[in-house]
Structure 1
Amino acid sequence: MENNQDKNRENLRMVRRLVVVIGSAFALIALVGIYLMADPELSLFNSYDSELTDVPQDSEAPENAEEDDWDKIENGVHVRTGFVDAPGMMETLQNCTNCHSAKLVIANRMNEERWIETIRWMQETQNLWDLGKNEEIIVDYLVTNYPPIDKGRRENLADIQWYELK
């Protein structure tokens, strides 16, 4: 009986040692992971290859780039997003393009009621934050610049000059 107890004690000591070794290994792995997150240059998952890109490596912008290209407006249109330059554009850009493309916003032409319903749906199901005072500005911008288009059928052809095929 005493022999079994000795074996049990020895097995228990071995299990404890194994737990300490495994715990130390996990701690080491966690420490290395934290270090790699703190210094991404050392990360094994870093796919950046400076030889394969045309991105300048220094902190200066290329000589031909303008500093204000990010919010450049040409012909009344925000170049980067395609939004019409009008009051409310920046609020719309800042709140809508965080989650999806400006093209999705522009393509969904809706009236005021539908935009508000869509915003509520995004807040309830997509974790959209409370827009506060910006909601009215954004909805006004969208309704004014991207109203619904009532297409229906194409217009009848008029003033047609018919000819015979030979």
Structure 2
Amino acid sequence: MKNLLLFLLLAFSIVLIKCKNSQPQIQEELSVGIDPDSGLQIDPNLMLVKGQCTACHSAKLITQNRFTREGWKDKIVWMQKTQNLWDLGEFEPAVLDYLEKYYSPEERASRRANLENVEWYDLNER
């Protein structure tokens, strides 16, 4: 009986050590990229944003939009006035920081790039 207890204690200790050693690797992998559950960018404020925003709507509503910080603030105020969103209080700056960092307007060319290396032909040749 003593041997069995000692064996179980040793096995349990080994499992705990392996779990503890694998934890930093998991954290490191999750510090970059896209959250598989929501599709949002992984960031220290991800859980805060998920908690505040996805309680009422899909994360896709965030990922499909691009606003400036002021634009996101206007959306939050609109949701508070018309959709019964609660006051974000002290969390609002962190939520806005996250949205501004990952979901701000992207720089784009005002029109498509010129076509290059095109072999033009006269319509009369056909």
Identify whether the pair has TM-score above 0.5, normalized to the shorter chain.
yes
Offset at 1:137? 0.5
Higher relative contact order (CA 8 A, sep 6+): 2
- 1:96 is aligned, of 47, 53, 64, to 53
TM-score (norm 2): 0.65
Answer yes or no: is 1:79 the counterpart of 2:36: yes
Alpha-carbon distance in structure 2 between the residues aligned to 1:140 and 1:153: 30
Offset at 1:73? 4.4
Alpha-carbon distance in structure 2 between the residues aligned to 1:141 and 1:104: 15
Question: Could you say which structure has the larger radius of gyration?
Answer: 1
Alpha-carbon distance in structure 2 between the residues aligned to 1:154 and 1:79: 32
Question: What does residue 66 of structure 2 align with?
Answer: 109
SS at match of 1:78: coil
Question: What does residue 157 of structure 1 align with?
Answer: 115
- 1:120 is aligned, of 77, 87, 98, to 77
TM-score (norm 1): 0.50
Question: What does residue 138 of structure 1 align with?
Answer: 95
Q: Map Cα deviations across residues 93-123 of structure 1 (whole Å, 9 max, x no partner).
A: 1110011110111111100111111101100
Question: What does residue 41 of structure 1 align with?
Answer: none
Alpha-carbon distance in structure 2 between the residues aligned to 1:126 and 1:86: 27
Specify the code of the residue in structure 2 equivalent to 1:157: L
Q: Map Cα deviations across residues 13-52 of structure 1 (whole Å, 9 max, x no partner).
A: xxxxxxxxxxxxxxxxxxxxxxxxxxxxxxxxxxxxxxxx
Question: What does residue 86 of structure 2 align with?
Answer: 129
Offset at 1:150? 4.0
Offset at 1:163? 6.7
Which runs of 5 or more structure 2 residues have no equivalent in the other structure?
A: 1-28
Alpha-carbon distance in structure 1 between the residues aligned to 2:42 and 2:101: 12
RMSD: 2.4
- How many correspondences in the alignment? 94
